[in-house]
Chains A and B, each alone.
Chain A
Amino acid sequence: MSLKQKSRLPQLLMLLGILSLGAVFLFPLWQITLDAAQFPGGLKMHIWVNKISGSEKNIIQNINILNHYIGMQYIEPDSIPELKYFPIVAYSMMALGLISLVLNKAWAYLSWFIIIAILGALGIYDFYLWLYDYGHNLDPKAPIKVEGMTYMPPLLGEKDLLNFYVTSYPHLGSGFLGLSSILALAAFWVKRKSK
């Protein structure tokens, strides 16, 4: 590897990091699957940076219908403000990434890494709060009440919730988000080493 090529490596890594961050618009961040005997293949709900969808059309409506028996609030993507400002955050981070790429300084890459890591952690915490709210803030007039039962889906992992076996894991979008932070860290590392 020539010296010139080597000097370009941090920028290349950062560019890949930015593109990788862009992939959160192409893939869901999280997948929650509700498995029950009467739903072959399960009901798969996808949480994106900017929307909530299902593996098939209408799954959100069908999950809402099921949730209403236990008095869970309807999932209405339009009423979740995060879905509106998370994309702005993502675009801003992509822009910041470009700035760090132009600056091509180790501190710039490191700062970007730290910000994205903090934002990622905050995002997961925010997601947890939503899950907590959905699982605990139930309609007192709900038709089905099980003493002491909350219906909070797991943030990460698997859990029995009445007749459903619920699994909740990060999806491809989170993978790309993680990859983008690793690439920024790598850019920082290589830049520092090349000094």
Chain B
Amino acid sequence: MKTHYLNYVAGLSLIFLMASCGNQGSETSQVLGGSAAEQAYVAPGEYDEFYAFMSGGYSGQITAYGLPSGRLLKEIPVFSKYPENGYGYSEETKAMFNTSYGEVPWDDSHHIELSQKDGEFDGRWLFVNGNNTPRIARVDLKTFETVEILEIPDVAGLHCAPFITENSEYLVSGTRFSVPIPQKDVPIDTYKKNFKGLINYVSVDPEHGHMELAFQIEMPGFNYDLARNGKGKSHGWSFLTTYNSEQEHSLLEVNASQKDKDLMAVINWKKAEQYMKEGKFTERQTSYFHNLMNEETSIVESEEKTLTKILDPKNCPDMVYFIPVPKSPHGCDVDPTGEYIVGNGKLSADMSVYSFDKIMKAIEEKNFDGNFDGIPIINYEAALDGIVKKPGLGPLHTEFDGRGNAYTTFFISSEVVKWDVESKEILDRQPTFYSPGHLVIPGGETKKPDGKYLVAMNKITKDRYLPTGPELAHSAQLFDISGDKMKLILDFPTKGEPHYAQAISADKIQPNSVKFYDIEQNKHPHATLGESKTRVERDGDEVHVYMTAIRSHLAPDNIEGFKVGDKVYFHLTNLEQDWDVPHGFAIQGATNAELLVMPGQTRTLLWEPKKPGVFAFYCTDFCSALHQEMSGYARVSPKGSDVPIKWGLNEKLRENEQAAHDFYEKAKQNANIGK
């Protein structure tokens, strides 16, 4: 069945490509004859103009690229453990993966949202959803570190997330799959009766960025796919596309593609806020986790929450509406003025553009075509501003350049089409290689786009790069959109599937970038603030090593008295106060990861020695000309042996031996007293 479907799609593309082959020719000659390389070239030592943050799809991470060079700057671990720096393995960061299902060290990250103020990016935080185990993460753009993850309860496939409002009031996050609420053991064919979809409003603290699940709206059991929030005049409203208004539960590719129109949800969240204040919600017991990095200690604190507040549209009139939208919609995008909302039916040949003013008028005049579960359905014609006729096949996502133009990706016909938002006239089209998903213009979802570049992210890429076995590199394609016609100026490979990206002017992030952590502000309970304070302490079969790192030695560098079966915690503090001098820590036989400790920071690795011997540890991050010498030994004795704890570094060895002896004697005395 699937093959048949693909053939159908391929057939359609062929017809389409034949019709538009003239345009393709001109595009190729543009690339060959123009100064594409020059436009994407950023000379050594010079900076890119924009940061582009791309979600890693099934890698669960985010990658930061420079635009227009396409240079990969950093991979930011978010939902997946990352042995490169110990994220998720160090004792401080393990709790970031706590969920109501236990530790989930992986996810599928989809939509990047940068924080906004007055409808423009402010460069403070980055939010991204975990699709598989529904979660939203926050990355602090001062440090490019994941500092918070909030689980969303009772949803499945948190795809329609985390779309931000124009002052970062909320991250609107709808469930992709509807499920029984609360979860229960029911036959799947009772979908229509038992399955519901929740749309979640997560509030963002304006000062610290901390997230909180403010409320959930219980909606009919559809699939909620994508969303955008209003801006300017439409601020206070959310628009979410849905599919499967058929409410089917099997063979969706056929059964959920029967109706010519699905429904777009239109939510007045200011009204919802008001209903919350009036107490029109119901509370339900559930379980979800909130994991937050403490800024002072740099340790993740995890809290289980057990209560959610739910609004039911039936009890909350004028809060939720539907509008018919062409077949199986995907993208749902609001233009910079806040007036136009583009609803793309991915299985439709046309695109519907709605007018916010007309939607408001229709609501006022109660121009409804019935209702679904009590939710009024606004008359399609009344809300419609116009239709973009036959722009291509499989319209997915639309972004805007701030000059009245919209750019839409077409998955099936593999192209980006530029059209005029007011006149709905098609202005330009450029092929992509091969099927694009999302596209991004820096600031393209805000009130003030930087309409200079456009990146189309490919979902299926073939033959753009040297082959790498059965799995090929995914591709991003950079277009210059400053002129009348789009111009392809660069291809660059990406990590995972680059699902969505947002790009922001570098000057909103670069000046605030933290160079190192101020060691005087390090409030980690196991920090060692100075080499003279390094020590080893035994507490039963737990051993705590308070270690420091500075170019080019670890202190202490020789430790004896470990025993098989001990739980050894290496608390490593990096004493450096200089930019880009992290130190690493690795020890043979560690079954988790290494550590990468930033200057001024403390990180802890748990090591459980399994056999007697002398094991080397060393710094993994090349830190100086004497980096190779930055190492030491840990002596492990058999379980039950009485080798005393002993540690040292050079001349201080003798002194420390005495201290160790005293400590050991004292510990023995204490033990005797205990007996």
- B550 touches which of A58, A65, A69, A143 (Cβ 8 Å): A65
CB pair A69 B625 closer than 8 Å: yes
Determine whether A92 belongs to the interface, using a CB cutoff of 8 Å to chain B: no
**A149 on interface, CB distance cutoff 8 Å:** no
User: Is B43 interfacial (CB-CB < 8 Å)?
Assistant: no
Is A62's CB under 8 angstroms from B578's CB? Answer: yes
B550 surroundings in chain A (CB, below 8 A): 65
A68 to chain B: closest residue by CB? B551
A144 CB within 8 Å of chain B: yes
- List CB contacts (< 8 Å) of B130-148 with chain A: none
Residue pair A69, B626 in contact (C-beta under 8 Å)? yes
Do B577 and A57 touch (CB < 8 A)?
A: yes
Q: Which residues does chain B contribute within 8 Å of A61, judged by CB atoms? A: 577-578
- Say which residue of B551, B576, B578, B625 sits within 8 Å of A144 (CB atoms): B625
State A62–B600 Cα separation when bound (angstroms). 13
Chain A 126-168 near chain B by CB (<8 Å), digits 1 or 0 = 0000000000000000011000000000000000000000000
Max chain A CB contacts within 10 Å: which of B550, B578, B625?
B578
Q: Closest B-chain residue to A59, C-beta based?
A: B578
Q: Which residue of B lies closest to A144 (CB)?
A: B625
In the bound complex, residues from chain A placing their C-beta under 8 Å from that of B624 are 69
User: Taking A65-B550, A65-B551 as contacts, is the C-beta distance between A58 and B577 under 8 angstroms?
Assistant: yes
Residues of the B chain whose Cβ atoms lie less than 8 Å from the Cβ of A62: 577-578
Interface size class of B (residues with CB under 8 A): under 10
Distance of A69 Cα from B550 Cα, bound (Å): 13
Give 1 or 0 for each of A53-73: 1 = CB within 8 Å of chain B CB: 000011001100100010000
B599 to chain A: closest residue by CB: A58
Q: Complex formed: what's the CA distance from A57 to B599 in Å?
A: 14
Contacts of B577 in A (CB 8 A): 57-58, 61-62
B564-601 CB contacts (< 8 Å) to partner A = 576-578
**Which residues of chain B come closer than 8 Å to A144, judged between CB atoms?**
625
Among B550, B577, B626, max chain A CB count under 10 A is at: B577
Rounded to whole Å, the gap between the CB of A42 and the closest CB of chain B is 13
Count: A-B pairs, CB below 8 Å: 17
Which residues of the partner chain A approach B625 to less than 8 Å between Cβ atoms?
A: 69, 143-144
Give bound CA distance, A61 to B550, whole Å. Answer: 11
* List of A residues within 8 angstroms of B626 by Cβ: 69, 143
Q: List, in ascending order, chain B residues with CB within 8 A of A69's CB.
A: 624-626
B259 to chain A, nearest CB (A): 60
Chain B hits for A143, CB < 8 A: 625-626
Closest to B600 in A: A58
Chain B residue with Cβ nearest A57: B577
Identity of the chain A residue whose Cβ is nearest the Cβ of B551 in the assembled complex: A65
Which chain A residue lies CB-closest to B624? A69
Which residues B590-646 have CB closer than 8 A to chain A?
624-626
- Interchain nearest-CB distance for B650 vs A (Å): 10
Q: How far is the CA of A144 from the CA of B626 in the complex (A)?
A: 10
Which B residue sits closest to A38, measured CB to CB?
B580
**How far is A144 from B552 in the complex, measured between Cα atoms in Å?**
13
Cα separation A144 to B550 with both chains bound (whole Å): 17
CA distance A123 to B624 in the complex (A): 36
**Bound CA span A86–B551, Å:** 34
In the complex the two chains form, what is the Cα distance from A62 to B519 in whole Å? 14
Residues of A within 8 A of B551 (CB): 65
Chain B residue contacts of A58, Cβ below 8 A: 577-578
| A-contacting residues, B294-347, CB 8 Å | none
Taking the nearest CB of chain B, how far is it from the CB of A145, in angstroms?
Answer: 13
Q: In the complex, which residues of chain B have a beta carbon less than 8 angstroms from the beta carbon of A65?
A: 550-551, 576, 578
**Distance in Å: Cβ of B514 to nearest Cβ of chain A:** 13
CB distance from B185 to the nearest CB of A (A): 60
Inter-chain CA distance A58–B518, complex, in Å, is: 10
Q: Which residue from chain A places its CB closest to the CB of B577 in the assembled complex?
A: A58
- A57: chain B residues at CB < 8 Å are 577
Question: What 1/0 flags go to B550-566 for Cβ under 8 Å of A?
Answer: 11000000000000000
Contacts of B576 in A (CB 8 A): 65
Within 8 A of B (CB), among A96-144: 143-144
CA distance A65 to B553 in the complex (A): 11
Interface positions, chain B 500-554, Cβ under 8 Å from A, are: 550-551
Report B320 CB to chain A, min CB distance, Å: 54
Q: Which of A62, A65, A69, A143 has the most CB of B within 10 A?
A: A65
State in angstroms the CA–CA spacing of A83 and B576 once bound together: 26
CB B225 to nearest CB in A, in angstroms, measures 46
> Shortest beta-carbon distance, A118 to chain B, in Å?
40
| Docked CA distance A136–B624 (Å) | 23
**Min CB gap B470→A, angstroms:** 41
A143 to B576 CA separation, bound complex (whole angstroms)? 20
Question: How many Å from the CB of A97 to the closest CB on chain B?
Answer: 40
User: In whole angstroms, what is the CA distance A158 to B371 when docked?
Assistant: 83
**Chain B min CB distance to A1 (Å):** 52
Smallest CB gap from B575: residue in A:
A61
CA of A170 to CA of B517, assembled, Å? 33
Can you sample 13 A-B contacts with CB below 8 Å? A58-B577, A58-B578, A61-B577, A61-B578, A62-B578, A65-B550, A65-B551, A65-B578, A69-B624, A69-B625, A69-B626, A143-B626, A144-B625
A residues in contact (CB < 8 Å) with B: 57-58, 61-62, 65, 69, 143-144
- A65-B550, A69-B624 are known; give 12 further A-B pairs, CB within 8 A: A58-B578, A61-B577, A61-B578, A62-B577, A65-B551, A65-B576, A65-B578, A69-B625, A69-B626, A143-B625, A143-B626, A144-B625
The 6 closest A-B pairs by CB, nearest first: A58-B577, A62-B578, A65-B551, A61-B577, A143-B626, A58-B578
